Amino acid sequence: MQTSRLFSVIDSHTAGHPTRTVTAGVPPLKGRSVRAQRDDFRAVHDGLRGLLLHEPRGHAAMVAAVPVPSREADQGLFFISSYIYLDMCGHAVIGYIASLAAMGALPEGFETGGMSIETPAGIVHANGTFEAGKLTSVVLRNVPSHLVASDIVVEAEGLGRITCDIAYGGIMYALVDAGRIGLPFDIDHAGRWCRAGMAIKEALNARSGNAPVSSILFHQSVPGGGRHLVVLAANKFDRSPCGTGTSARIAQLHARGQLAEGETYRAENILGVPFAARVVGLGRSEDGRPAIIPEVRGMAHISAFSTLVLEADDPLASGFLPG
């Protein structure tokens, strides 16, 4: 076998959604910041995105976490999904920390002080809970998150008039009450929820003057919180409760006076697996808006230690994604 590329990866899932932490094989990247290194990867090495994440080595929902050096934090980390580059990804940070723990590579002092991580969205902080020296959960303190706009009404194809809020949690979300859609809120109808989410996303992003919305977070009340389904694209949804989406959701609830500082919000995914979230402080967004400091706690589980191989004569070196 003649190989042209090898990549060492650790696969994990956070409440069902995959993270592929790339531990070796990515070439050195240019840039003083993590954002600049991410942008250099996108400009020069974007073909690796398909190799690492698309079929036959991955699938439409795959996300990669790529560790890089940081001048500002203990570690740099950027995120690649199968179809876009993400400024921040909460479930992937949790997967990355669980992967470090599985390798015995958590930095010295992590159990008492955690670690800072520079992402393209800003610096976040991660620590953990432990039992008998074993990592049992990851606690992510995310970037400042805020409500951007409330009670936005759009005419979505096939759905009629839909009212939503827009909030930022490291990525921009439209937050929609699932009860407005009229579909069973379960995994068996995920495809129909994806189509509904895309209709809303397209209607919102067609409006002039709006900040582009990356994803649609449908929510349904459950005791102590909400059930989430985040639609990413026509054939992609977040299997986890979504770390950045949960940050946006509690920013919305706090701005509306429905979640007090320090109060715990249970964010569960469509499979019933929860994150715990709370507002741990107040601050300002980059453009000066009132914002919250969100904290999200969840756990990831390791699914594989692998070496991805590209043979020299592979006709599908960049992979493929079905529509």
Question: Active-site residue numbers?
Answer: 89, 242
In this structure, the number of other CB atoms found within 10 A of the CB of residue 31 comes to: 15
What is Dmax (Cα atoms) for the chain?
A: 62
**CA proximity to 280, closest of 290, 291, 293:** 293
DSSP codes, 152-221:
EEEEETTTEEEEEEEEESSSEEEEEEGGGT-S--SGGGHHHHHHHHHHHHHHHHTSTTPPPP-EEEEEEE
Radius of gyration of the chain (CA): 19
Query: Torsion over CA of 226, 227, 232 and 234, rounded to 10 degrees?
Result: -140
Looking up tokens 């990851």 gives: 138
Looking up tokens 């994803």 gives: 215
**CA proximity to 218, closest of 188, 264, 179, 169:** 179
